[in-house]
Amino acid sequence: MTHNKSIIIVSAGVMQIPAILTAKSLNLTVIATDRSPNAAGFRYCDIPVILDSKDINGHIDFALRNKDKFNIQGAFAASDVAVTVAGITQALNLPGISMDVAIRSNNKSLMKERWLNDKIPTPFGVEVTTLKEAIQVANIIGFPLIIKAVDNAASRGSMKVIDLKQIPQALENAKFASKTGTAIIEEYVYGNEQSVETIIWQGKHYHIGMADRNFGYHPYHIEISHVDPSELNSDIQKNIYEVVDSAADSLGIDFGPAKADMILTSKGPMILEMPARLSGGFHSQYTTPLSTGQDPIRAVLEIAIGLPLTEHHLIPKFNKTAICSGIFPKTGKIISIDGVDKALEIDGIEKIIINKSVGDTIDDYIDNSSRFGWIIGVGKDKIDVDTKIALAKTLINVVVENK
């Protein structure tokens, strides 16, 4: 007897639960992989597999051994793992992008090279290894600049640098966070940021939406909140989409999701990066479905198993605003966390996700992975949701013991 169709969802943390549940609702058998045996998503999938999401060969090996047994029909990048997914889809001849394209979409230096070559608006940047190279490049670019990891995410290893003295440490941090052992040095540009979601299918770029992102904790770059959909007017959004579409073409992304991190500078929209996956940060997972009823995850899961793209999933069904706002308690050891249930009683507060438990330590906020938790709210407009979230924050009480 043939096994029910299955899909491999790479990564099974809290952020990946919506993809796992959506795949289940498509009657797929869900194989979820994560390096942690306690991954929150394992509870919701059918077949948990303990595998590091970046272990490409481990995934290829698993997929080849189990293709027929589980009738594997597709793979889905639930976090920043387009390369792992391309490994699976190429090995099994399933829908997806080529390995070359996946690697390019996961490497800030390779994407930068392409974009600079193809005249796609992006901050000037160069990959470096040694301190000597870094100083040479810094002298060309000028200050401030930003030194970033080449193939990491969530702002890990990235720092704004204002003078020569800061370069050695920033370079070390960025190289440490890069599997390549290198770093990228970029011109620092200023402007409001957007996270832009697109899906490419049969030559067409589907514009799903964009969210406004607010960052803080400089010289690091931590997302404090995002507002979905963006409040930018449609002309500006059109300009942004033009850059996003040409950036995807330049990288060669011709199938599935292409998510852009954009910054609206005084010289126009510029692209910072484009991984070949849907957005994280609870954006595709919660704020988009809550604000418009669009379901990009469902659309991508369906094309991943070879079904046609259902445009209905991508059409807005209503016009609300959803906000995902970080909770940033003082740093130190957590003594107690109270008030979450009370805050959830507020009309429009849909989700509160806490990343830590009593006894854990809250470290300095240096990248997005060190964040404590998030409140996700929905309402008729930004003011309405801001009010609800502010109220929720007054109810949540986190007591920490100073370090």
Ligand X SMILES: Nc1ncnc2c1ncn2[C@@H]1O[C@H](COP(=O)(O)OP(=O)(O)O)[C@@H](O)[C@H]1O
Q: What does the binding site for Mg ion look like in residue numbers (CB under 5 A)?
A: 261
**CB closer to ligand X, 154 vs 389:** 154
Q: Site map for ligand X, 20-59, x if CB under 6 A?
A: ----------------------------------------
Cβ of residue 10: shortest distance to ligand X, in angstroms? 17
Question: In the bound complex, what is the minimum distance in angstroms from residue 46's beta carbon to ligand X?
Answer: 31
- Is residue 226 within 8 A of residue 281, CB to CB? The reply is yes
Q: Which one of 61, 193, 249, 384 is in contact with ligand X (CB under 6 A)?
A: 193
| Shortest Å distance, C-beta 118 to ligand X | 18
Q: Tell me which residue has its CB nearest to ligand X.
A: 221
Q: Sheet of 125-128: strands edge to edge?
A: 125-128, 183-187, 145-149, 159-161
Rounded to the nearest 5°, which phi and psi values hold at 80?
-80, 60
d(CA 142, CA 137): 8
Contacting residue, 127, 273, 302, 350, with ligand X by CB under 6 A? 273
Which residue number, 226 or 320, has a Cβ lying nearer to ligand X? 226
Cβ of residue 4: shortest distance to Mg ion, in angstroms? 36
Q: What is the DSSP letter of 355?
A: -
Binding characters for ligand X, 154-173, by CB under 6 A (x = yes): xx--x---------------
- Enumerate residues 108-137 that contact ligand X by CB under 6 A: 123
3-state secondary structure (DSSP) of residue 193: strand
Q: Are 123 and 116 in contact (CB under 8 A)?
A: no
The yes or no reply on residue 186 touching ligand X (CB under 6 A) is: yes
Residue 321, φ and ψ in degrees, nearest 5: -120, 135
Choose which of 59, 112, 175, 221 interacts with ligand X (CB under 6 A). 221
Binding-site partner at residue 237 among ligand X, Mg ion, none, CB < 5 to 8 Å by type: none
Distance of closest approach, residue 259 Cβ to Mg ion, in angstroms: 9
291 binds ligand X (CB under 6 A): no
* Residue closer to ligand X, measured from CB, 355 or 397: 355
Among 46, 254, 261, 384, binds ligand X (CB under 6 A): 261
Q: Which pair of structure tokens corresponds to residue 262? A: 């954009």
What residue ranges in 109-234 does DSSP mark as E strands? 125-128, 145-149, 159-161, 183-187, 192-201, 204-216, 222-228
Phi/psi-derived region of residue 217, left when phi > 0, alpha when psi is between -120 and 50, beta in every other case: left
- 361: tokens are 């330590």
DSSP letter at 331 equals S
String of b and e for 58-94 (b: at least 16 CB within 10 Å)? bbbebbeebbeebebbbbbbbbbbbbbbbbbbbbbeb
Nearest by Cα to 343 from 357, 332, 327: 327
| From candidates 143, 206, 215, 365, binder to ligand X by CB under 6 A | 215
What minimum distance in Å lies between the beta carbon of 184 and Mg ion? 13
Contact 77, 84 (CB under 8 A): yes
- Residue ranges that bind ligand X, judged by CB under 6 A: 123, 146, 148, 153-155, 158, 186-189, 193, 215, 221, 261, 272-273
